[in-house]
Chains A and B, each alone.
Chain A
Amino acid sequence: MTSDIQPLPPYQELDHTADLALLVRGADLEALLRHAALGMYHLMGADIPPAGPGIRQRVVLSAMDAEDLLVDWLGELAFWAESRQLIFRAFTFHDLSPGHLTATLQGGRVGHLEKHIKAVTFHNLRIVDTPQGLETTIVFDV
């Protein structure tokens, strides 16, 4: 017997008059960060580089809470995308708490990005605990 219940998508774009908004879900903070990264890359129109040795980048972030960490995390990825056309496909979190993150990222350069993310905003940003896990809506300035 198959279930009619479909799993909720890890991210989905929401309507926003001027900018871009993304609803992101994850079983825990690590999954939320991972899905938020993939969702942002989707908004950028970035092709995820194929598996391979590629480029490795270590990231260390400190934040005052989980929302601050999420903004920093996506801001870091948007920086590498803008300045080096660098898109990551694999994220290994060595240390993760709402106030701190140490991770190694693996990815490669892409030729073209369709959309420029100027910044990740704090607009109405709140990570909420739901029966299915964590959920949040992020607004990007584009």
Chain B
Amino acid sequence: MTGPVELEHLDTYTYQIPRSHRADMRVPARFYADPELLEGLLQDRSLAQLINTATLPGAVGYALAMPDIHQGYGFPIGGVLATAAPEGIISPGGVGYDINCGVRLLGSHLSRDEIQPHLDRLASALQARCPSGVGQGGDIRLKKGELEEVLAQGSRWALRRGYATAADLDHTEEGGRLSGADPARVSERALERGRGQIGTLGAGNHFIEVDAVDAIFEPDTAQRLGLRENGLVVQIHCGSRGLGHQVCSDYVKRFQKSLARFGYHLPDRELVCAPLDSAEGLDYLAAMNAAANFAFANRQVLTHLIRQCFETALAGRLRRFELFQIYDIAHNMAKLETHTVEGRERLLCVHRKGATRAFGPGRPEVPEAYRAVGQPVLVPGSMGTASWVLTGTATAMQETFGSTCHGAGRQMSRSLAKKRHRGPGVREALERMGIAVRAGSMAGLAEEAPQAYKDVDRVVEVVHGAGLARKVARLVPLAVVKG
């Protein structure tokens, strides 16, 4: 529990904790919820963690949290913090260990009815071809020096190796490559952890999911994105694997040593940070960008493997089984972006930890094909529940530094989920709903039971109602492959 909090209810979905709530807050904290979500988030330490982020040097505007907020470590999950660049801070804990964990959505010309007789074969092919599980390595063997190229080039490396199309890169945040990545800032241990993990899903809440488009809310936008009612799509949720985890660990440790030099007094050591223009800050930014490029390349190689699975499972049985990329978006990242603050253009370092960029129409960062409608936002739900495709808005640009929610958000601890649910029971319940399930771990399946998460439809109603994103399409799962 967070303890007594001074809450101002600003409008239907917006709540604020004033700066006066705690002496060390530099900016107010603001979050988005409805009454039920508010009651839930008061049950853990989410708001205490949000208040802590409001104390960080160089914070601009508000420390923000989206309606999928839940307790994490350091920053809450669902947290957004913008700091002034270059004099403000950058915090590895504000990005998290799974740097550029994100979601990719692939579209198809197939329909829900067409795939139904082939679903089990397809799910089994996906599980067999896409490596998943703890520390699991993949089939891609990198030549000497090639990992450094992955870190510097991201999805461009994948394009050169034949794992991508140019259109895939066009429909990826930053074109699948962040500039300013420096492999030399990544430790030997991080390289070792990542070397065999390109093209692997990992474990935990990562997944590949085959979905059907269940409902369309904005037909013109949906058509532009390549979505049609009952159409088949594929989601990939994963990140930078052990390489990213090690980059974060390395810099959280290194930053501890320089805290005193910068004169920072922080309420939690996990919030450790350094000025963006310090040697520490610049090194972390370069290493984080390299890990983010690894994650883009990882999801790209998985895309290649998934396309192979569609061919294996469906060739000769169905026509037009090719997959095209709709979008790929990060939800754990710190990025240098220009935003208008109090009428003035400012360069900011926007930390999103379990939050998605949601740039509105007209922004040059949005791919040309989508610029008129706003950036696609991909919001996966839990197994057995819906996922959503949204678009970013001008309101998000004004209120949340162009950010919105990233998922349903957990509401039940993993230990409680395992006490209340058993993996085989979860699988049977999903199969009764017509969902094909392939999971490497029954305990992991129990932890990820749909009941462990908030209602994603409710979370999306809040961001839609608050104007932080617009509903385009609702997806429902047909097959789930978990690590």
Of the listed residues B73, B248, B412, B441, the one surrounded by the most CB atoms of chain A closer than 10 A to its CB is B73
With both beta carbons as reference points, the residue of chain A lying nearest to B46 in the complex is identified as A17
The yes or no answer to B74 lying at the interface (CB within 8 A) is: yes
Q: Could you tell me if A122 and B270 are in contact, using CB atoms closer than 8 angstroms?
A: yes
Q: A20 vs B135: C-alpha distance in the bound complex, in angstroms?
A: 18
Q: Is the CB of A121 within 8 A of B245?
A: no
| A82 and B193 form a contact (CB under 8 A) | yes
Stretch at the interface among A64-72, A100-108, A128-136: A64-72
Shortest beta-carbon distance from A74 to chain B in Å = 10
Do residues A17 and B249 form an inter-chain contact, with CB atoms below 8 A? Answer: no
- B73–A13 contact, CB under 8 A? no
- Asked if residues A83 and B270 are in contact (CB atoms below 8 Å), the reply is no
Chain A residues whose CB sits within 8 angstroms of the CB of B269 once the complex forms: 67, 122-125
- A20, B270: Cβ atoms under 8 Å? no
B362 at the A/B interface (Cβ < 8 Å)? no
| A19, B135: Cβ atoms closer than 8 Å | no
Contact A15:B98 (CB < 8 A) given known A83-B192, A121-B73: no
Asked whether B384 is an interface residue with its Cβ less than 8 Å from the other chain, the reply is: no
A13 CA to B419 CA, complexed, in Å: 13
Q: Is the CB of A64 within 8 A of B256?
A: yes
> Which one, A3-11, A31-39, A90-98, A111-119, is touching chain B?
A111-119
Tally of A-B Cβ pairs under 8 angstroms: 108
Tell me the residues in window 216-259 of chain B with beta carbons closer than 8 Å to chain A beta carbons. 242, 245-246, 248-249, 252-253, 256-257
Minimum distance in angstroms from A107 CB to a CB of chain B: 16
The complex places the Cα of A75 from the Cα of B193 at a distance, in Å, of 12
CB–CB A139/B73 < 8 A: yes
CB distance from B455 to the nearest CB of A (A): 16
Q: For residue A67, give the distance in angstroms from its CB to the closest CB of chain B.
A: 7
CB distance from B333 to the nearest CB of A (A): 16
Q: Are B411 and A17 in contact (CB under 8 A)?
A: yes
Residues of B within 8 A of A20 (CB): 414-415
Is B107 engaged at the interface, CB distance under 8 Å to the other chain?
Answer: no
Question: Which A residues touch B257, using CB under 8 A?
Answer: 64
B134 and A17 contacting across the interface, CB-CB below 8 Å: no
Give the CA-CA distance A141 to B412 in the complex, in Å.
Answer: 16
Task: Determine the chain B residues whose CB is within 8 A of the CB of A1 once the complex forms.
Answer: none
Q: Report which of B46, B73, B134, B248 forms a contact with A115, defined as CB distance below 8 A.
A: B134
- Minimum CB–CB distance from B419 to chain A (whole Å) comes to 10
Across the interface, which residues of B come within 8 angstroms of A18, CB to CB?
70-72, 77, 410
Contact call B268/A124, Cβ cutoff below 8 A: yes
**In this complex, what residue of B is CB-closest to A67?**
B269
**Shortest CB–CB separation between residue A140 and chain B, in angstroms?**
9
Quick one: given A114-B443, A115-B443, are A85 and B135 in contact (CB under 8 Å)? yes
CB contacts (< 8 Å) of A68 on chain B: these are 253, 256
User: If the complex has contacts A17-B413, A68-B256, A122-B256, are A83 and B74 also in contact, measured as CB distance less than 8 A?
Assistant: no
Q: Is there a chain A Cβ closer than 8 Å to B160's Cβ?
A: no
Judged by a CB distance under 8 angstroms, whether B467 is at the interface is: no
In the assembled complex, the Cα of A16 lies from the Cα of B77 at a distance in Å of 12
CB neighbours of B410 from chain A (8 A): 17-18
Q: How many A residues touch B, CB cutoff 8 Å?
A: 36
A141 touching B134, Cβ below 8 Å: no
A141 to B96, CA, bound (A): 9
Q: Is A120 an interface residue (CB 8 A)?
A: yes
**What residue of chain B has the Cβ atom nearest to residue A113's Cβ?**
B134
* Chain B residues positioned under 8 Å from A141 (CB to CB): 73, 96-98, 245
Contact B74–A121 (Cβ < 8 Å)? yes
Determine the residue in chain B with the shortest Cβ distance to A120. Answer: B249
Q: Do A118 and B97 contact each other (CB < 8 Å), given the known contacts A16-B413, A71-B253?
A: yes
B71 contacts which chain A residues (CB < 8 A)? 16-18
Chain B's closest residue to A68 (CB) is B256
The answer to whether A15 touches B415 (Cβ under 8 A) is: yes
Q: Which residues of A contact B44 (CB under 8 A)?
A: 17
Name the interface residues of A49-85: CB closer than 8 Å to any CB of B.
Answer: 64, 67-68, 71-72, 75, 79, 81-83, 85
**Judging by beta carbons under 8 Å apart, are B134 and A123 in contact?**
no
Contacts of B270 in A (CB 8 A): 121-125
Cβ-closest 10 pairs across A and B: A123-B73, A122-B269, A82-B135, A123-B270, A119-B97, A116-B134, A15-B413, A17-B71, A116-B203, A121-B73
13 further A-B pairs in the complex, CB-CB below 8 A; given A119-B248, A141-B97: A18-B71, A18-B77, A19-B72, A45-B443, A64-B257, A115-B444, A116-B203, A118-B204, A119-B249, A122-B74, A122-B269, A141-B98, A141-B245
Q: List 16 A-B contacts (CB under 8 A).
A: A15-B413, A17-B44, A18-B410, A44-B134, A45-B443, A68-B253, A68-B256, A79-B189, A79-B193, A83-B135, A112-B134, A114-B444, A115-B443, A122-B270, A124-B269, A142-B204
